[in-house]
């Protein structure tokens, strides 16, 4: 099975290094020297990692055969793909590979069906489940502990406790500064009558 483990960013310096946006919780395993990675687009790879280092909080990689800034810049936005055994699980029991989460049924704690995970979007701050509802519409659910309370791979389901308005917009609580000002003014006027 193939997993996207990083996306190549800008060239760094003049000796062929590139910045990478890491998309794996195991960069030392997937992005170490000697690792051979498939690419998307396929025409730019496969790429073999020659060296890796952290500079100012960013991972920098150099690939075999990429010796200058021009060659490094040509790799920009290429996805790096690692071959992973489908039976392999992350070391941390609270972590999951995307393929484990795809097609899980999403339900509320009381068993109410919400839909099925059809896509996982990786954002800088958090991951999002794209859930297709039975009526064909989609809802985005942040993959955070406060909302996704349980992942049960055996039962093939994700149990969620969504805040009001996440699943049903009619339940949303809308607060504006105008409402707060009106409530404060009403409270001030009520105090004068006493």
What's the pLDDT tens digit per position in 158-180?
A: 999 988 888 776 665 665 555 55
Cα-to-chain-centroid distance, residue 89: 17
pLDDT interval class at 98 (50, 70, 90): confident
Average pLDDT score over residue span 98-120? 88
- Phi and psi of 175, rounded to 5°? -125, 125
Measured CA to CA in angstroms, residue 134 lies from 14, 61, 183 at distances of 53, 44, 40
| Distance of alpha carbon 5 from alpha carbon 72, whole angstroms | 18
Contact 10, 16 (CB under 8 A): no
pLDDT digits (tens, 9 = 90+) for 16-53: 999 998 877 677 778 889 989 999 898 888 999 999 98
Which residue in 153, 174, 171 sits closest to 99, CA to CA? 153
This prediction has a pTM of 0.54
DSSP string, 80-114: EEEE--TT---SSTT---HHHHTT-EEEETT--EE
Listed in sequence order, the residues at least 6 apart from 167 whose beta carbon sits closer than 8 Å to its beta carbon are 114, 139
């Amino acid at each position: 099975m193939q997993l996207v483990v990083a996306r190549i960013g800008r060239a760094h310096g003049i000796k062929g290094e590139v910045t990478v946006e890491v998309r794996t919780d195991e960069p030392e395993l997937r992005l170490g020297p000697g690792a051979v990675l498939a690419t998307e687009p396929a025409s730019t790879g496969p790429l073999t990692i020659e060296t890796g280092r952290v500079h100012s909080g960013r991972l920098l990689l150099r690939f075999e055969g990429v010796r200058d800034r021009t060659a490094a810049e040509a790799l920009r936005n290429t996805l790096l793909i690692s071959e992973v055994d489908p039976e392999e699980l992350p070391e941390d029991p609270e972590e999951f590979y995307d393929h484990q989460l795809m097609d899980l049924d999403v339900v509320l704690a009381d068993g109410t069906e919400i839909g099925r995970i059809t896509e996982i979007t990786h954002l800088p701050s958090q991951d999002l489940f794209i859930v297709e509802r039975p009526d064909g519409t989609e809802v985005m659910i942040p993959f955070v502990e406060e909302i996704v309370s349980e992942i049960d791979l055996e039962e093939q389901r994700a149990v969620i406790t969504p805040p009001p308005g996440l699943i049903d917009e009619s339940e949303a609580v809308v607060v504006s500064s105008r409402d707060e000002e009106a409530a404060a003014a009403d409270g001030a006027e009520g105090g004068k009558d006493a």
